[in-house]
Amino acid sequence: MSWSQCYELVWSDEFNTGQQPNPTYWTYDLGVGSSGWGNNEIQVYTNDSENVRIEGGNLVIDAVRKSGNNWTSARIKSQGRFNFTYGRIEFRAKLPVGSGTWPALWMLGENFATVGWPSCGEIDVMEHVGKDPGLVHSALHSPSSYGNTFTKGSKSVPDFANEFHLYQAEWTEERITFSIDGVDFYTYNPDSKTASTWPFDTPFFIIMNIAMGGNWGSDSRYEVGGQRNGVDPNLDKATMEVDYVRVYQTSTNLEISGPDLIRPDEENLTYTASSPLQGQYNWSVPEGATIISGQGTSEITVNWGSTPGEVTLQIVGNCGTYDRSFSVALQSIPQGDFFVLDDFTDEETNNLAIHAGTGNVITLTEQDDQLRIDYDISRPSANPNVVITFDQPVNAEELSELQLRIRTRNESGTISLRADPFDRNGTEKNATPVFRLEPIQSDGDWAWYTFDFQNNWTSNSPVAGAQLDATAIQGIKLYVNYGFFGRPGSDSLWIDKVQLARPGFTTSAEFIREEVKFSVFPNPASDSIVIEKDEVGQKGVVQIFNTLGQMVIEQPWEGQQKQLKINTTQWEKGTYRIVWKNKVQIGVRSIVVIGS
């Protein structure tokens, strides 16, 4: 057989362990069934070891005569336990002998319980009726052809009962091809693929059984009472042995799943390769994270560290080497009363984006620890805005008050502003009430504008009533002279801080306007930094936070001590916020540490 694609083994049952079929993979149809399972069959299905068991490395299904023409048998299925869409399935099996037997290796759509048959579709990889010994059949059942279907093919296998053979089906989005021992004998490929002709685009589960008698299996020579119960009266048992069932798929189905937003130092995280291939697995995680179990398998358990990054997987399989990666972000977990989101000290604008709209111009300049916004708006209806994206998603459950420190002279008298947070999924807080920065203080002095989003994270569009994920606020969309409230004009404004705070922090603590001046050098730093106050005399404390909001250092600073030197050789590369504060003053600076 010449397969059109390179397949990897993704699932199999080799039937080499235990005494009964693995319950992780298999369950049973039991009893007589309505109208003999819809085909006037005469057997009763059980899960007794007399009828189904693991023996000698094979699955053994026995149909057994109990008395007269009463039979028990077994029908096992992977429904609700394993299913797949597209690929190649192989059964290595030896079939029963005897007129009246009707063994089958086949599949049904997993949606069988909701849409019924034949809408769910049926793929018969192998059927054999004992009254026609050695003629093996494969067939498709769909709303366009079912029951005595015309979408079928047959092939002679003279030694079906004495030797194991491979019964195979290759199933793609375009066609289904049936083969025995690698030799194709029937392909189904309808020109028009509709729900009627092609219900074969959803997951299917696997079934193996021996039926007795029935509409097709019954031998008319032995029928009694006009029933489809014709079974050779000299037959007391019929046995089918299955060496293995294997499912192969292409590598395109391989993906990694698991939590993609976590807290620093979170433990027992599970990452799983979907449709796992059979091959050599090698997982890797960022520095500081540890794989505590599962290396070499399709699923690992990880204890994370304090660095975001990627879970990567390399699999060496039959068709080559496959590489997949999965990005994991860490939440910033603010500590203390406030958390600086951006203070514009790095003089870089990589985290800023402009959406001015046709006819509008917005220019951004980051200088002197401030973000300057110059605009010329002729079309407010285009909703011109500036997007500020944070380094990491921030948990705003506790520090839910958004604060912006802004100054402008508002010489045009046109400035109107609005600040809409958005989460890492892009859901924007734009339902009423919104954070409108009005009235604007127009004296050119710095002013704080605040809005408490606690219990107020509702979005109006694109999905009305959607809730932002307050644990993963990714940025702010700052609307400038926008929409209904905007007026054409040109002007400038400056922002020097964007931060989250505990609700009421600025109103109850007026000292935040009295900002202490200090400098930090060198910046960027490698092995140490020096913090220097512009004036001595005030006693306070220095706190240093990483971008995740974790406090790295807290150290008292005596009033007469002008400089404080701190070793940074053990710090991870990144940006750090340095906070100096006491009961009446506070100051914040940022520094970049590039490693020693």
391: CATH: 2.60.120.430
**Domain-located, residue 580:** yes
**Domain-located, residue 526:** yes
Do 241 and 268 have their domain in common? no
Q: Which of 483, 508, 533 is the last residue of a domain?
A: 508
What does the pLDDT look like over 159-211, one tens digit per residue? 999 999 999 999 999 999 999 999 999 999 999 999 999 999 999 999 999 99
* Lowest model confidence (mean pLDDT) among 103-107, 197-201, 226-230, 332-336: 332-336
Do 85 and 231 have their domain in common? yes
Residue 401 binned pLDDT confidence (cut-offs 50, 70, 90): very high
Do 412 and 440 have their domain in common? yes
pLDDT at 506: 61
Do 89 and 156 have their domain in common? yes
User: DSSP for 431-448?
Assistant: SSS-EE--SPP-SSS-EE
Do 353 and 479 have their domain in common? yes
* Catalytic residue numbers, as ranges: 122, 127
What is the sign of the dihedral through the CA atoms of 90, 123, 40 and 220?
negative
**Domain-located, residue 1:** no
**Domain-located, residue 4:** no
Share of the chain above pLDDT 90, in %: 72
**Domain-located, residue 3:** no
Residue 514 binned pLDDT confidence (cut-offs 50, 70, 90): very low
Q: Which of 448, 478, 508 is the last residue of a domain?
A: 508
Buried b (16+ CB within 10 A) or exposed e, 451-461: bebeebbbbee
* Mean pLDDT across 24-52: 95
**Domain-located, residue 424:** yes
Q: Is a pLDDT exceeding 70 seen at residue 512?
A: no
User: Residue 268's domain is classified under what CATH number?
Assistant: 2.60.40.10
* Mean pLDDT across 254-261: 94
Do 225 and 271 have their domain in common? no
**Domain-located, residue 204:** yes
* Lowest model confidence (mean pLDDT) among 150-164, 191-205, 267-281, 575-589: 575-589
Strand order in 586-593's β-sheet?
551-557, 540-546, 574-581, 586-593
For residues 543 and 243, what is the distance between their CA atoms, to the nearest angstrom? Answer: 67
Residue 42 binned pLDDT confidence (cut-offs 50, 70, 90): very high
Residues contacting residue 14 through CB under 8 Å, at least 6 positions apart: 57, 243, 244
Q: What's the predicted TM-score (pTM) here?
A: 0.64
Q: Is a pLDDT exceeding 50 seen at residue 507?
A: no
Q: Which domain holds residue 348?
A: 338-508
Q: Which two tokens stand for residue 187?
A: 């392909």
Do 94 and 111 have their domain in common? yes
**Domain-located, residue 49:** yes
Buried b (16+ CB within 10 A) or exposed e, 79-113: beebbbbbbbbbbbbbbbbbbbbbbbbbbbbbbbe
Do 215 and 311 have their domain in common? no
Do 541 and 499 have their domain in common? no
pLDDT at 119: 97
User: Residue 220's domain is classified under what CATH number?
Assistant: 2.60.120.200
Do 387 and 271 have their domain in common? no
* Mean pLDDT across 529-550: 81
Q: Which two tokens stand for residue 420?
A: 């809409």
Q: Provide Rg for the chain, Cα atoms.
A: 35
Do 326 and 351 have their domain in common? no
For residues 281 and 277, what is the distance between their CA atoms, to the nearest angstrom? Answer: 9
Q: Which of 272, 296, 330 is the last residue of a domain?
A: 330
For residues 370 and 288, what is the distance between their CA atoms, to the nearest angstrom? Answer: 34
- The domain tally of the chain equals 4
Do 206 and 259 have their domain in common? no
Q: Which two tokens stand for residue 427?
A: 């859901």
